């Protein structure tokens, strides 16, 4: 079919109180304006009619059928009977007309129009239309003629990304982030213009690396959309309002959903300078007002999230108490702020406990929503059901391999636990040395000077335990052979690389929102445990091989628990019991670790499985790259290329390394969220 020389557009516009507002979908703005392609474009926006009719029925307005039946390519489409509103598919109004006065999202015309007015009926209509507009913007299959406004550039994307990050952050009122219902509704009302601005860049002719960065921005927007439509942590999740973080995470950003304005106590130098003390006094001083707001915002009915939030605020109270003791007397204003914050935290905890009996609903996002989130936000190509199959397979493989390993080693002595501080320091440092020498000798990847110190810095300290006492699961591994967990400590090598050798892309240089990096970060750290075993790291330590299978079994067991939580097949107590039962040797008793893990996985869909879905994707990529390169393949080349791509979803890493796109990146990238709240 010959391309049309004239431009066609899909325009949504409606009127309210004598003002007309326009929403343009620029992805459709270059489609062929004749024949089957335009028919297809019109079909893509029929969902708007359904949204419109549903709203009208809620308002008890008459809703006759669209004029002339189904839409066609020859005329505009109107829905009559809803005074002051209509839907139009066709050419845009003339520039300067009354309709154009409120134009939104005009490609090539920053700042893409003013904020739409929000009020009464318009807000209700607009909430309905926003979903449809979002879907239409991502769902076009038209052939593109020569547009009269050219595509954007990569520099435009960088500017958009910076502006997007500013928009994603809520307004702060007297130092307190505003997550009120009105504030969140207003923020969501503005969202569509950001997605359409992104689509208007039309990156299809950019380099692969630039297109990958475009998708990194796109998946953040999908994550924002999902949060507002499904997760709504400011409504459902008490732990969302935790502000105090005493320890650094081993991944690129905080694990799970965190509130804007969080306070990383570990990031300050101690003793505090007067400037830092004043800053902390102001920031900690905002906690009472935030928790007052939270009482109004938390109207959800997610029982497991609510009950787990009690533990989170007991933790914040303890952290504030320890912080108070460590800085007391540094600054009177800081002392007072900590006192008031702890007092407010304890009062909020009491309120949560008081409200807990009334919370009776499920906490999981549901199977279909989980799959949508994996494919559209985290770019993990496996559905909820497929992940169950994968996790069950890994669980069985780990347990069966452990039994075979134990049989092979049955005549060897058991591994003894480290029993003193001196032994601990000696063994941990020796393990770092041995691991770094192995990586270099076996040419696993290029070794940089910052890597060894990064590993030694997190050796930790000895903690005594009675002979029959079970420590934290990972301590049970480390205290038997520290070398096993040095592999997982690749996390800290990655953080050092981010600090010492930041990625040249300003978009990849910072951690993606919504834990989009989880399968890449956790998948690598978990994957290298078994990979290094197969590469020979534990050849002289056969009993240590058992530890690798035990760790794999624990990851698979807790991942299945998290999946069943989100599928609403488990409640929290069942998830805890399942993970405990299927972890070998009783090393995951019912306690802080297993409950904190399951709470995290419930708060952040996909995190519990990311250790193994990421590992599996890396193994698939390793196999694919080996076949692609043939005799030119080396493990060292593979990992150097893998690290060079940055901490991004492995689907995008694969594209950069092999030049092959996963179909989940092709339009349409999104569909209707199956179970939006």
pLDDT of residue 58: 57
Using one digit for the tens of pLDDT, what is the confidence trace for 636-670? 999 999 999 999 999 999 999 999 999 999 865 55
CB atoms under 10 Å from CB of 154, counted, come to 18
Using one digit for the tens of pLDDT, what is the confidence trace for 194-216? 999 999 999 999 999 999 999 99
Mean pLDDT of all residues in 377-402? 99
Burial of 107 (0-12, 13-18, 19+ CB in 10 A): buried
Mean pLDDT of all residues in 133-146? 40
pLDDT of residue 57: 56
Kindly report which listed range (82-86, 526-530, 643-647) carries the lowest average pLDDT score.
82-86
Beta strands in 77-129 (DSSP E): 103-104
pLDDT of residue 55: 53
Q: Which pTM does this prediction carry?
A: 0.81
pLDDT of residue 42: 41
The overall average pLDDT reported for the chain is 84
CA atoms of 531 and 438, how far apart (whole Å): 13
Q: Given a cut of 80, is residue 146 above it in pLDDT?
A: no
pLDDT of residue 624: 99
Q: Given a cut of 70, is residue 597 above it in pLDDT?
A: yes
Using one digit for the tens of pLDDT, what is the confidence trace for 147-199? 334 589 999 999 999 999 999 999 999 999 999 999 999 999 999 999 999 99
Per the CB < 8 A criterion, the answer to whether 582 and 400 are in contact is no
Beta strands in 79-185 (DSSP E): 103-104, 172-173, 176-177
Which residue pairs from 282-286 have beta carbons closer than 8 angstroms and sit at least 24 positions apart in sequence? 282/175, 282/337, 283/175, 284/243, 284/244, 284/320, 284/334, 284/337, 284/338, 284/341, 285/175, 285/333, 285/336, 285/337, 285/340, 285/341, 286/174, 286/175, 286/176, 286/243, 286/261
pLDDT of residue 252: 98
Per the CB < 8 A criterion, the answer to whether 8 and 85 are in contact is no
pLDDT of residue 672: 66
pLDDT of residue 446: 98
pLDDT of residue 366: 97
CA atoms of 243 and 337, how far apart (whole Å): 13
Burial of 595 (0-12, 13-18, 19+ CB in 10 A): middle
Bridge-partner residues for 104, per DSSP? 23
Confidence of residue 115 (pLDDT cuts 50, 70, 90): very low
Mean pLDDT of all residues in 380-398? 99
CA angle at 436 for the pair 474 and 520, rounded to the nearest 5°: 60
Confidence of residue 393 (pLDDT cuts 50, 70, 90): very high
In a 13 Å sphere around the CA of 146, the CA atoms on its Cβ side amount to 2
More confident residue, 534 or 131: 534
Q: What is the CA radius of gyration of the chain?
A: 27
pLDDT of residue 30: 36
Q: Judging by DSSP bridges, how do beta strands 176-177 and 172-173 pair with one another?
A: antiparallel
- Measured CA to CA in angstroms, residue 19 lies from 92, 96, 98, 116 at distances of 16, 14, 8, 10
CA atoms of 12 and 110, how far apart (whole Å): 19
More confident residue, 30 or 267: 267
Provide the 3-class DSSP secondary structure of residue 63. Answer: coil
Tell me the two tokens of residue 178.
Answer: 């505003």
Mean pLDDT of all residues in 90-103? 34
Q: Given a cut of 60, is residue 136 above it in pLDDT?
A: no
Edge to edge, the sheet with strand 103-104 lists 10-16, 19-25, 103-104
Q: Judging by DSSP bridges, how do beta strands 244-245 and 263-264 pair with one another?
A: parallel
């Amino acid at each position: 079919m010959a391309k049309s020389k004239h431009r066609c557009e899909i325009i949504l516009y409606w009127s309210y109180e004598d003002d007309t507002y326009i929403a343009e979908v620029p992805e459709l703005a270059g489609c062929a304006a004749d024949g089957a392609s335009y028919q297809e474009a019109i079909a893509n926006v029929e969902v708007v009619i359904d949204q419109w009719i549903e709203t009208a029925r809620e308002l008890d307005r008459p809703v006759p059928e669209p004029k002339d039946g189904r839409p066609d390519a020859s005329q505009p489409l109107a829905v009559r009977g809803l005074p002051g509103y209509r839907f139009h598919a066709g050419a845009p109004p003339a520039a300067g007309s009354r309709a154009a006065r409120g134009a939104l999202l005009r490609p090539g015309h920053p700042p893409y129009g003013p904020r739409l007015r929000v009020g009464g009926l318009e807000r209700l209509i607009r909430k309905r239309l926003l979903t449809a507009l979002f879907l239409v913007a991502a769902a076009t299959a038209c052939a593109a003629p020569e547009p009269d406004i050219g595509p954007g550039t990569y520099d435009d994307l960088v500017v958009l990304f910076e502006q997007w990050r500013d928009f994603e952050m809520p307004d702060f009122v007297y130092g307190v982030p505003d997550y009120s219902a009105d504030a969140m509704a207003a923020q969501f009302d503005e969202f569509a213009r950001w997605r359409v601005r992104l689509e208007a860049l039309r990156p299809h002719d950019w380099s692969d690396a630039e297109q990958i960065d475009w998708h990194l921005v796109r998946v953040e927007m999908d994550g924002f959309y999902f949060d507002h439509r499904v997760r709504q942590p400011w409504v459902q999740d008490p732990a969302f309002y935790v502000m105090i973080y005493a320890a650094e995470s081993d991944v690129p950003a905080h694990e799970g959903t965190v509130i804007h304005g969080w306070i990383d106590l570990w990031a300050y130098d101690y003793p505090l300078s007067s400037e830092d003390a004043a800053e902390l006094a102001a920031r900690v001083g905002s906690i009472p007002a935030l928790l007052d707001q939270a009482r109004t915002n938390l109207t959800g009915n997610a029982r497991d999230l609510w009950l787990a939030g009690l533990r989170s605020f007991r933790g914040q109270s303890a952290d504030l108490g320890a912080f108070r003791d460590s800085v007391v007397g540094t600054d009177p204003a800081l002392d007072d702020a900590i006192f008031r914050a702890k007092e407010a935290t304890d009062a909020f905890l009491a309120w949560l406990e008081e409200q807990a009996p009334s919370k009776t609903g499920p906490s999981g996002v549901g199977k279909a929503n989980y799959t949508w989130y994996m494919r559209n936000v985290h770019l993990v190509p496996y559905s909820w059901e497929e992940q169950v199959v994968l996790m069950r397979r890994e669980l069985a493989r780990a347990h069966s391999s452990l039994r075979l390993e134990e049989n092979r080693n049955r005549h060897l002595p058991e591994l003894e636990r480290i029993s003193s501080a001196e032994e601990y320091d000696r063994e941990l440092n020796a393990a770092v040395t041995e691991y770094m020498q192995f990586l270099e000798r076996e040419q696993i990847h290029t070794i940089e000077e910052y890597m060894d110190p990064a590993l030694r810095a997190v050796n930790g300290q000895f903690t005594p335990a009675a002979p029959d006492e079970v420590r934290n699961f990972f301590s049970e591994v480390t205290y038997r052979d520290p070398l096993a967990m040095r592999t997982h400590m690749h996390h800290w090598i990655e953080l050092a690389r981010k600090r010492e050798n930041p990625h040249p892309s300003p978009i990849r240089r910072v951690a993606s929102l919504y834990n989009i990096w989880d399968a890449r970060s956790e998948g690598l750290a978990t994957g290298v445990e078994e990979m290094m075993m197969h590469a020979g790291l534990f050849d002289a330590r056969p009993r240590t091989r058992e530890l690798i299978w035990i760790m794999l079994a624990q990851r698979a067991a807790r991942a299945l628990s998290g999946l069943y939580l989100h599928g609403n097949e488990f409640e929290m107590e069942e998830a805890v019991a399942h993970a405990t039962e299927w972890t070998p040797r009783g090393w995951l008793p019912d306690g802080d670790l297993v409950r904190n893990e399951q709470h995290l996985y419930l708060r952040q869909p996909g995190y519990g499985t990311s250790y193994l879905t990421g590992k599996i994707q890396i193994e698939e990529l390793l196999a694919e790259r080996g076949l692609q390169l043939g005799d030119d393949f080396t493990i060292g080349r593979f990992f150097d290329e893998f690290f060079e791509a940055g901490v991004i979803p492995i689907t995008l890493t694969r594209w950069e390394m092999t030049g092959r796109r996963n179909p989940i990146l092709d339009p349409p990238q999104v569909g209707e969220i199956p179970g939006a709240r």
